[in-house]
Amino acid sequence: MIIETERLILRELEPSDYDALYKVLADSDIMKHYPYTFDEKRVQNWINKNIERYSVFGFGLWAVCLKDSGEMIGDCGLTMQMIDGSILPEIGYHIRGNMQRKGYASEAAKAVRDWTFTNTPFEKVYSYMSADNIPSQKTAMSYGAVFEKEYKDETGEHVQVFVTKRKQ
């Protein structure tokens, strides 16, 4: 286990999480703000990439599991992302459709924020998303992030960036 909250356990992704993660990343409604919906190979690569991140950085996207049942409902964690030309620490989150609007993404993101400021030297942590991805913006604000800027990415899409700072 990496992080425990009131209702969730966040732990490292494992190859056996494939089926549960596929239900999230291959869902076109969930991924409509992402450049693509994942196929089988991309889901497997996602798991492998995060396992590699754990060994390189000590963090990555973690499996979000319900504490009472152990059921995996998505992922949330810290990754290094290219945001408007700079590589920055970013909290990302994806929650299965039937588990959305129950506060799980917010609960997981808050826990990742706290873990980040306890276990890394980062003074700021970011979340970025398509400018029309209102649910993701609300999740970022729920963990204390505030709007920092909007820019056009390399494809011309408007992207919004939210940031929160380590409390002094």
The pTM is what?
Answer: 0.94
Angle, alpha carbons 107-67-91 (nearest 5°): 30
- Is residue 38 included in any domain, yes or no? yes
CA 138/CA 145 separation, integer angstroms: 9
Q: How many domains does the chain have?
A: 1
pLDDT tens per residue, range 22-73: 999 898 888 887 777 888 999 999 999 999 999 999 999 999 999 999 999 9
Q: What is the rounded CA–CA span in Å between residue 33 and residue 18?
A: 22
3-27 pLDDT tens trace: 999 999 999 999 999 999 999 989 8
* Domain span holding position 104: 3-122
**Residue 120 backbone dihedrals phi, psi, to 5 degrees:** -135, 165
Residue 147, domain member (yes or no):
no
Of the candidates 139, 150, 144, the residue with the CA atom closest to the CA atom of residue 165: 144
Question: Would you say residue 153 lies in a domain?
Answer: no
